[in-house]
Structure 1
């Protein structure tokens, strides 16, 4: 099975940061409770993003060095629901990356949401290493995010603002 057609249109590959100087030594970890949930709005470096973080609408063009996070009870567009480490000895090419994302994120999506990705009204996008973060920071992390596409956007890339987690929503 491959992510093709409308499923691919509903996906957006986001790049991790390439400006390592902007993130090294930055203490921008958000306030979190015992369950690792963000408890107040914060602007963090991309390497501080973790599973369960909710993200308000953001500009996904280009490399991302910092990103805003909010409590999931507040309006947001995306939620990080899964992450995994790439195990290859090279930064995968786009097709290879998509194959690995499909193998990892799609089953995790079904487990998290409670319905199969290909039957869901929700969509996936992800954050991947860049060539710079791969070589300079040993970045191997891929983070899978879930969002609700705006039905008015024919590309499926614009997300609606939601409140609460998508976990167990069976949507």
Structure 2
């Protein structure tokens, strides 16, 4: 056997081992992620999974650790499990023409801020809780007629249960 013939089986074995070790992540990237399970009557999430951001509902709890600016799906969980965020409001933007990122952000901030106190029972300025939002992108505005801002509330520590009426 020449050196070349000895190295080929070693290279094949190393490649097979690498594929076996990374197989879970390779397969995970190929296979679709399971969707959340909702109660047929209430619509509440009873089993965690992946949820399209366009189908999030007020009261949904989620964990979003995405570093991407554009998000199309998020991992959701029942609110009885530890989670980072809870959907607490929605704002529908108006207009035919894309108003620009700054205008969308300002409208989202104003709309979500206005819904904070009715949801928590305390003014944002007096609260220890924070909020953020998912906004339309120029592409989703123009291609999908997306005008919905989804407001999410969070505590800096993981939360279990709803923050509705938390008054903190």
Deviating beyond 4 angstroms after TM superposition, the runs of 4 or more aligned structure 1 residues are none
Q: Aligned partners of 2:60, 2:123: CA distance in 1, in Å? A: 22
SS at match of 1:148: strand
TM-score, normalised by the number of residues in structure 1: 0.72
Contact 1:29 1:48 survives alignment (8 Å): no
Q: Does 1:72 align with 2:79?
A: yes
More strand by share: 2
Return the structure number with greater relative CO, CA threshold 8 A, min gap 6. 1
More off after superposition, 112-121 vs 90-99: 90-99
Q: Does 1:82 align with 2:89?
A: yes
Give 1:28 deviation, angstroms: 4.4
Check 1:122–1:115 CA distance in 2 against 1; reply closer, same or farther (3 A cut): same
Give 1:93 deviation, angstroms: 2.4
Instruction: Give the aligned length.
Output: 135
More helix by share: 2
Q: Does 1:50 align with 2:57?
A: yes
Q: What RMSD in Å do the two structures reach over aligned CA positions? A: 1.8
TM-score, normalised by the number of residues in structure 2: 0.73
- How is 1:98-113 mapped onto 2 (pairs within 5 angstroms)? 98-113=105-120
Q: Which has the larger radius of gyration?
A: 2
Segments of 5+ residues of structure 1 without an aligned counterpart are 1-26, 150-159
Give 1:130 deviation, angstroms: 0.9
Segments of 5+ residues of structure 2 without an aligned counterpart are 1-33
